[in-house]
Amino acid sequence: MANLTPQQRQLVEQWAAEGANLNQIQDRLRSECATTLTYMETRLLIMELGVKLQDKPREAPVAESKPAAAADSTAESGDPEFEAPAGTGTFSVSADTEPTPGALVSGKATFTDGNSVVWFMDQTGRFGLKGPTPDYQPPPSDIPQLQRELDQLLQLRGF
């Protein structure tokens, strides 16, 4: 694998213990040790060393304004759809029962500006959005909510 000296391997272990992620370790190897590794080589090095990277702290769950019974019935139905808290009413995310060709999972999202996009995750885990126009940008205030709700939806689907 990577031809690192014992001192460099110790540095990698130290950086991981300090909370560095793979990209940061890769960058520090290049800048501090003059060793260039690909992302995959860095990942394999971490596995070879038996180093456990620290997970990013997750955001605290946002309290939903839906009644608990409605949230439970949505989760049990197998076709989860999440809506924004009361007051906005136009933001929603849903999953398709049959994913679009080439996708593991797909669905639709409607933003507070009234525009809808198709979202998908392909076989390599890449996420994508197809908007109503090529240059469409969702409202910035909707992006954190989209990320949270897609995360919940994908967890319910086993991803």
Q: Tell me if 88 sits within 8 A of 112, measured CB to CB.
A: yes
Q: What is the distance between the alpha carbons of residues 91 and 139, in angstroms, rounded to a whole number? A: 11
What pLDDT digit, counting tens, does each position of 47-79 carry? 888 888 876 655 555 544 444 433 343 333 344
Q: What is the mean pLDDT of residues 130-156?
A: 85
Position 139 scores a pLDDT of 87
Note the residue count of the chain: 159
Q: Tell me if 54 sits within 8 A of 19, measured CB to CB.
A: yes
Q: What is the distance between the alpha carbons of residues 80 and 71, in angstroms, rounded to a whole number? A: 9
The CA-to-CA distance between both ends of the chain, in Å, stands at 30
Q: What is the distance between the alpha carbons of residues 159 and 145, in angstroms, rounded to a whole number? A: 18
User: Rg (Cα) of the chain, in Å, rounded?
Assistant: 21
Tell me the one-letter amino acid at 148. Answer: R
Q: What is the mean pLDDT of residues 11-24?
A: 88
> Kindly report the CA angle at 11 between 9 and 14, in degrees rounded to 5?
115
88 vs 33: which has the higher pLDDT: 33
